[in-house]
Amino acid sequence: MTAHISTSSLARSPATHHPSVVGPNAILQTATAIRAFAGDAECRQVFARAGLDHYLDLPPSQMLPENEPARLFAAIADQFGREDAKHILHEAGTLTGEYILANRIPAFARVILRILPRFLSARLLMKAIAKHAWTFAGSGEVSVSLRWPVSIRITDNPLATPGCPWHLAVFEALYRNLVSPEAVFIHTDCCCSGRGCRSEFRLRSRS
């Protein structure tokens, strides 16, 4: 992560360097979320429905073809229905964000982001997310706006589901820990509705 902010308000990720793969946490943390929600037996049923039950016996440790977590996300919706699937995928995204915080962001960067003004740390974190966007966007084209409030767009998002709860939860876990505990992301457009996925950072109003 860099402490320099570009004067440009729009940055694009180098996603084309890794055009069709995503990080293994899209499957690893989703398995954990399904087990917590429905137990081991139903978790295996869902993974079998997606043709991925071998990952429960030998969890993946390398980058994965993007169509594998996409199949898993679809199988979750088929098995549980839309609302329960949204809950499971949100939990899986939260776990993924927490893994990134613990294992992928250096301690000094976490300290710096937490003490900077929100508008500055929000921009720095979004730049870092864009830099590594291929890990969650695969072949999708990613762009971020650094104007306040910062936002991220994924065109042709291979992991899109209605409302994209997995992606929103990943972003919120990072922003709530590093920018503000009041951080939320609003999904203003979605590939599932025929538009590129766009998520915008906001702060919850305190009641």
48-70 pLDDT per residue, tens:
999 999 999 999 999 999 999 99
Residue 59 lies in a domain: yes
Amino acid at 24: P
Q: What are phi and psi of 140, to 5 degrees?
A: -65, 150
The predicted structure's pLDDT at residue 23: 95
Q: What pLDDT is recorded for position 193? A: 86
Q: How many domains does the chain have?
A: 1
Return the pLDDT at 17: 46
Q: Give the pLDDT confidence score for residue 5 in this predicted structure.
A: 32
Residue 175 lies in a domain: yes
Phi, psi torsion values for 177, nearest 5 degrees: -85, -35
- Name residue, tokens 């960067």: 109
pLDDT greater than 60 at residue 170: yes
Indicate whether 3 belongs to any domain: no
Q: Confirm whether 185 is domain-assigned.
A: yes
Q: 144 forms bridges with which residues in the sheet?
A: 11, 152
| Residue 2 covered by a domain | no
pLDDT, tens only, 30-42:
999 999 999 999 9
Residue 5 lies in a domain: no
In a domain, 101, yes or no: yes
| Block residue for tokens 């305190």 | 206
Residue 4 lies inside a defined structural domain of this protein: no
pLDDT value of residue 19: 62
Q: What is the CATH number of the domain that holds 82?
A: 3.90.1520.10
| pLDDT of the residue at 6 | 33
Q: Is the pLDDT of residue 179 over 80?
A: yes
74 has pLDDT over 80: yes
Q: What does pLDDT average to over the chain? A: 90
**Domain encompassing residue 115:** 10-203
> Which three-class secondary structure state does DSSP give residue 52?
coil
- pLDDT class of 206 with cuts at 50, 70, 90: low
Confidence check: pLDDT of 207 > 90 = no
DSSP conformational letter for 17: G
| Strand-strand pairing, 197-203 and 151-155 | antiparallel
